[in-house]
Amino acid sequence: MGALHDFKAELFKALGHPLRLRILELLRTGEKTVGELQRLLMVEASSVSQQLAVMRAHHLVESRKQGTNVFYSVKDPLIFDLMDTARTIFENQLATWVSVLDEPES
């Protein structure tokens, strides 16, 4: 496999966790601290930190320190286009499933 395929596989692997996707959605509106994310997600701060570490390792998020706070933000906003496309694919499939369920039985 080529470098591009390897990159894509790693990117999708990094996105392959529901909590990571929820964190990215929250970061869509701007940078946040672990504490803010933890309160919004209603999960342990350690879980948020663990998922942020994975996303930092895959260059999805970046951090900056201000005083005692560490603020996280999305490194490349194009990730939101990918997430929006995934939502559209989901909605299309859902519409197909609904139409199949609505078909009269023979």
Sheet holding 69-74, edge to edge: 32-33, 69-74, 61-66
Query: Which position has the token pair 């930190």?
Result: 49
pLDDT score, position 93: 87
pLDDT score, position 102: 73
33 close to 69: Cβ distance less than 8 angstroms:
yes
Domain 1-75: which CATH number of 1.10.10.10, 1.10.8.60, 1.20.1250.20, 3.40.50.720: 1.10.10.10
Per-block average pLDDT, block size 10, for the chain (106 residues)? Answer: 89 93 96 95 94 95 95 96 92 83 72
pLDDT score, position 4: 92
CA angle 39, 41, 45 (to 5 degrees): 60
pLDDT score, position 106: 63
Which phi and psi angles does 18 have, rounded to 5°? -55, -40
Measured in whole angstroms, how far is the alpha carbon of residue 2 from the centre of its chain? Answer: 25
Task: Compute the distance between CA of residue 55 and CA of residue 24 in angstroms, rounded to an integer.
Answer: 9
Task: Compute the distance between CA of residue 64 and CA of residue 69 in angstroms, rounded to an integer.
Answer: 8
Please state the domain extents for the chain.
1-75
- List beta partners, residue 64: 71
pLDDT score, position 75: 96
Task: Compute the distance between CA of residue 96 and CA of residue 93 in angstroms, rounded to an integer.
Answer: 5
